[in-house]
Amino acid sequence: MPTTHQNSAIPVQTPTIPPTWALIERELLKAQTAACEKIFAKYFDELGYLKCLPRWGGNDGSDDAIENLAGWPVLHALGAPDSILEKYKLGWEGHIRQYTEAKTVEVELARDGMLYKEFPVSLDWFHHGESMSVFNLQGLSDPHDHAFMTRVRRYAGLYMDEDPQAKNYDPEHKIIRSLFNGSRGPLLRKATALDWAGDPFEAEGRFDAAHGERNFDEMLAHFEEYTDIVGDHPINLAATTMAVNAYMATGDQKYKDWLLEYVDAWAGRAGENNGIIPSNIGLDGTIGGETDGKWYGGCYGWGFTVTVPQTGELSDRNALYRGIAGFGNALLMTGDQSYVDVWRKTIEAVNANSKIVDGKTLYPHMHGGDGWYGYDEMPYSQGALDVYYWSMDMADRKFVPPSEWLDFLDGNRSDFPVAAMAQEFESIRLKMKGVDEDTTSRDTRLSDNTLQFNTANLTCLTQLMMGAITPRYGEPLHARVRYFDPGNQRAGIPEDVAALVERMTDTTTTLSLVNLDQSNPKKLVVQTGAYAEHQVTSVELDGETYSQDRPHFTVTLSPGTGSTLTIHHNRYANQPTLNHPWDNG
């Protein structure tokens, strides 16, 4: 089999009639962009402020304001025009100013501003993760922006014991000292409903509370049981993404060292707790130290079941899964699959407590003083897709919920790409109808009211184009491939080019590329890994093998051509970086 020179560009020269998936993909990028621009024009002003009543709290705070732009940085990194990145940056800067200016009266935490040092003063990583899920992905497209570079260092420093006003981290016990943490440090007392809900305000009749509360009393009641926040919680592992960003932006070893120190501490606690990640670590470093020794205790813990004020019904709100980001971050930094094993063992240990009732196997999802509860026919599967994606071990599929995407990658759902993208067009149409029919005004709108209209729902495009898991809770992007436009020196697939990841194994990625332009050639760079963490060894195309030895390769597509490449690679072989391919020479 002929082999070309090492690291040479790969030519695609096979004429092709544009496949349906490729035409729809390009139209979907265009439709999402147009819808996002319409949303921004209606709901953000010229300063980038969200047109709403700025409030503090877990329901409708600053995290929801910027979450209105969730997915926008990734949409640009996929290939949307620069206007999307520019509007995201305007919105980010605007929300910082808007919520730094906004102050509480009764809630002591935010009387001097809801943001301080451009970061929330003190709240939980359930909500920090939602706001940072936007900022943390800016580096995909704009890694050398001065403000971004400054912020990634400052934000990481808040959790590395570098800021004397933010003693969030205890290096002796290797804990983040409270579920409530931020730029003014940890909250080391029981939280009140007011801490969570924000100042009293005219809710009934004026606003439509997105969480179903009819008045402010019900908003307070929502959080009455959210009191046990002192001590560390797995959800705080999401803070490690800021260290990942700082490391990828600067290369400074201290960020990697801190991240691994903190994640290793949590891995050790899971090992001490029969393989299950505990949900409270005391200020003295002991498991359950702030919850009377209960490993399952604490707000958002294994035993966190609360009363819904509107109905009186009980609701299970175990949110440990939002901490899985920490183990994925450690894998990204080291390539060490033992970090995946920590979450795998938790899933297996929980499901090992299944029972058979009336001939059906039921699996627990919660644990309290009387043992396991919250039984359901579906296994406990939080993080199961992540575990399989990171390991690519078929044994890890057993707890992954049914997935049409995985069926497609297995070769069993050839119609999935077109069907999935068709649903996205319907979603955009309905959301734009909602925008047109929305008669609220700036003074009758809460920050979370407009979340329903965000059209940058990227699960479909990230799966199909990048072979990626959509970032959800502040984690970085885990992707098999992504694209760069060398002609325009920017992230994203070039105009008129479409891409489809058709299969993935541990060592290979099957990728189809199409040039829809019948008159002009196209050149693009394909990078393995969102942050060049995978190393390409060779690429097969039309019976030829092209030898490679780097995390990216160049493809030239003649007009009106398309073909399928098989990329051979070593996953997690490289240190992740925010640099674009041309930054490395």
Give tens-digit pLDDT for 403-450: 999 999 999 999 999 999 999 999 999 999 999 999 999 999 999 999
State the average pLDDT over residues 82-100: 98
Helix (H), strand (E) at residue 78: helix 72-78
Token representation of residue 40 = 């921004």
The CATH superfamily of 480-575 is Golgi alpha-mannosidase II (2.60.40.1180)
The answer on pLDDT for 5 being more than 50 is: no
Q: What is the pLDDT of residue 214?
A: 84
Residue with tokens 């051509």: 561
Q: What is the pLDDT of residue 53?
A: 96
Structure confidence at residue 44 as a pLDDT band (50, 70, 90): very high
Token representation of residue 468 = 């990626």
Cβ atoms of residues 266 and 272 within 8 Å = no
Q: What is the pLDDT of residues 53-62, one digit of tens each?
A: 999 999 899 9
Average pLDDT, the chain: 96
Q: What is the pLDDT of residue 465?
A: 98
Q: How many helices (H) and strands (E) does the chain have?
A: 16, 22
Nearest to 7 by CA among 571, 557, 488, 525: 525
Q: What is the pLDDT of residues 281-293, one digit of tens each?
A: 999 999 999 999 9
Q: What is the pLDDT of residue 585?
A: 57
Nearest to 7 by CA among 562, 578, 535: 535
Cβ atoms of residues 126 and 118 within 8 Å = no
The answer on pLDDT for 310 being more than 90 is: no
∠ CA(189), CA(296), CA(375), 5° rounding? Answer: 135
- Could you give the percent of the chain with pLDDT greater than 70? 98
Count other Cβ atoms within 10 Å, centred on residue 193.
Answer: 17
The span from the CA of 33 to the CA of 23, in Å, is 16
DSSP annotation string for 569-584: EETT-S------GGGG
State the average pLDDT over residues 313-322: 95
Q: What is the pLDDT of residues 142-189, one digit of tens each?
A: 999 999 999 999 999 999 999 999 999 999 999 999 999 999 999 999
The answer on pLDDT for 476 being more than 70 is: yes
State the average pLDDT over residues 93-120: 97
State the average pLDDT over residues 263-292: 98
Cβ atoms of residues 483 and 74 within 8 Å = no
Task: Show the 3-state SS of 360-410.
Answer: EEEECCEEECCEEECCECCCCCCCHHHHHHHHCCHHHHHHCCCCHHHHHHC
Q: Which of 192-206, 210-224, 234-248 is the most confident on average?
A: 234-248
State the average pLDDT over residues 560-570: 98
Q: Give the residue, 495 or 204, on which the prediction is more confident.
A: 495
∠ CA(40), CA(43), CA(48), 5° rounding? Answer: 70
Q: Give burial (CB, 10 Å; 0-12/13-18/19+) of 355.
A: exposed
The span from the CA of 504 to the CA of 510, in Å, is 6
Token representation of residue 273 = 């707790």
Strand, coil or helix: 254:
helix
Q: What is the pLDDT of residue 55?
A: 96
Q: What is the pLDDT of residues 488-505, one digit of tens each?
A: 999 999 999 999 999 999
DSSP annotation string for 130-144: HHHHHHTTGGGT-TT
The span from the CA of 559 to the CA of 397, in Å, is 40
Q: What is the pLDDT of residue 1?
A: 45
Structure confidence at residue 203 as a pLDDT band (50, 70, 90): confident
Q: What is the pLDDT of residue 375?
A: 98
Token representation of residue 339 = 């970090």
What is the 8-class DSSP label of residue 15?
B
Cβ atoms of residues 508 and 545 within 8 Å = no
State the average pLDDT over residues 211-222: 87
Q: Give burial (CB, 10 Å; 0-12/13-18/19+) of 160.
A: buried
Please list the residues that pair with 10 across neighbouring strands: 555
Question: Which range, of 1-15, 47-61, 555-569, averages the lowest pLDDT?
Answer: 1-15
Structure confidence at residue 3 as a pLDDT band (50, 70, 90): low
Q: Which residues contact 57 (CB under 8 A, 6 or more apart)?
A: 107, 196, 197, 198, 219
In the chain, domain spans: 24-142+404-469, 480-575
Helix (H), strand (E) at residue 344: helix 338-351
- Could you give the percent of the chain with pLDDT greater than 90? 94
